[in-house]
């Protein structure tokens, strides 16, 4: 029975509040997730000054800069996340959106790295991540086969273990856009494990992905879908997260081995019905 690696993506759903962050970590640990995940950005490197100065209404002000800075944790917060996750016995890692952020994250000595769909074409970041040689999840949303080929080549160049993650980069994603049959196709094409990173409402798409052989599942989580934030509507609340993990663990069992074996109970029935 293969263990599906389940990541609860906290991302920026903490809204800059460490108390919310810890409640989300608690929920993920209680649900039985393998890890929680965050996102790290150097605001000035990821966005232009023109964009940061542009209008955006938020609880923290009326510019994109005020919103982005409010959602960005720094070293003190990540040190506390590291301490708290160790206390709760759950792994954590983060996806970097620029080189400085990836270098910053190295100090935490993660078991896993993550290439976000938006970063799949960032060759410099791919090289830095690949050189770390940690198991790397590569989200494939918005990407062509040619772009995925190139990212895989960089991983192979440095001998970095990797796993592709089928993904549709819409928030929330209409369920009919899931195209889950791409999971076995990606596995066939690249000869590697393939997971699923979802942004849809509910659990059925994610559980179906596991039934199709997804090696890992990543879902955004929230305390409340009505909270402020662009990812909240595409997230699972903690009750649904618990149900999802339970469903995944059950699917692991019911999938079995694929070998034709008569169980003891079936043999007993055979004796009765066939004599």
Q: Per-residue pLDDT tens, the chain, 275 aa: give them.
A: 789 999 999 999 999 999 999 999 999 999 999 999 999 999 999 999 999 999 999 999 999 999 999 999 999 999 999 999 999 999 999 999 999 999 999 999 999 999 999 999 999 999 999 999 999 999 999 999 999 999 999 999 999 999 999 999 998 999 999 999 999 999 999 999 999 999 999 999 999 999 999 999 999 999 999 999 989 999 999 999 999 999 999 999 999 989 999 999 998 999 999 87
162-167 and 5-11 beta bridge pairing: unpaired
Domain extent, residue 83, equals 5-257
Determine the distance from the C-alpha atom of residue 181 to the mean position of all C-alpha atoms in its chain, rounded to a whole number: 19
Distance between CA 92 and CA 86 in Å, rounded?
Answer: 9
Q: What was the pLDDT predicted at 275?
A: 73
The H or E element spanning position 80 is helix 75-88
Contact predicate 43/67, CB 8 Å: no
102-127 core/surface letters (b: 16 or more CB in 10 A; e: else): bebbeeeebebbbbbbebbbbeebbe
Position 269 in a domain? no
Distance between CA 230 and CA 242 in Å, rounded?
Answer: 23
Position 271 in a domain? no
Tokens representing residue 143 in the block: 């990407």
Residues 6+ away with beta carbon under 8 Å from 155? 126, 130, 136, 138, 161, 162
Q: What are phi and psi of 271, to 5 degrees?
A: -60, -40
CATH number at residue 70: 3.20.20.70
pTM: 0.95
Q: What was the pLDDT predicted at 223?
A: 97
Q: What was the pLDDT predicted at 34?
A: 98
The domain total for the chain is 1
Three-class secondary structure of residue 240 per DSSP: helix
Dihedral sign of CA atoms 11, 140, 126, 131 in order: positive
Assign 3-state DSSP to the chain and report helix, strand, coil percentages, each to 5: 50, 20, 30
Distance between CA 144 and CA 30 in Å, rounded?
Answer: 37
Q: What was the pLDDT predicted at 70?
A: 96
Tokens representing residue 148 in the block: 């995925």
Q: What was the pLDDT predicted at 76?
A: 98
| Cis-peptide into 172, omega within 30 deg | yes
Position 273 in a domain? no
Distance between CA 87 and CA 271 in Å, rounded?
Answer: 54
């Amino acid at each position: 029975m293969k263990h599906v690696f389940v990541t609860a993506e906290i991302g920026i759903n903490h809204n800059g509040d460490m108390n919310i962050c810890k409640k989300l970590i608690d929920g993920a640990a209680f649900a039985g997730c393998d890890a929680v995940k965050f996102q790290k950005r150097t605001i000035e490197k990821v966005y232009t000054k023109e964009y940061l100065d542009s209008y955006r209404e938020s609880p923290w002000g009326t510019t994109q800069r005020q919103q982005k800075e409010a959602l960005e944790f720094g070293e003190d917060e990540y040190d506390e996340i590291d301490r708290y996750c160790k206390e709760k016995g759950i792994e954590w890692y983060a996806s970097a959106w620029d080189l400085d952020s990836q270098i910053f994250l190295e100090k935490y000595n993660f078991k896993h790295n993550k290439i976000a769909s938006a970063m799949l074409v960032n060759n410099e970041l791919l090289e830095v991540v690949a050189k770390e040689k940690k198991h790397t999840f590569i989200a494939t949303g918005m990407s062509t086969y040619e772009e995925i080929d190139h990212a895989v080549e960089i991983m192979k160049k440095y001998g970095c273990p990797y796993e592709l993650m089928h993904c549709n980069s819409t928030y929330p994603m209409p369920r009919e856009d899931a195209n889950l049959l791409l999971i076995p196709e990606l596995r066939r094409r690249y000869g590697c494990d393939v997971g699923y990173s979802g942004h849809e409402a509910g659990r059925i798409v994610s559980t179906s992905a596991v039934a199709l052989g997804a090696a890992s599942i990543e879902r955004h989580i929230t305390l409340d879908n009505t909270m402020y934030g662009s990812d909240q509507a595409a997230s699972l609340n903690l009750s649904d997260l618990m149900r999802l993990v339970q469903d995944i663990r059950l699917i692991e069992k019911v999938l079995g081995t694929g070998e034709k074996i008569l169980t003891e109970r079936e043999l007993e029935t055979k004796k009765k019905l066939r004599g």
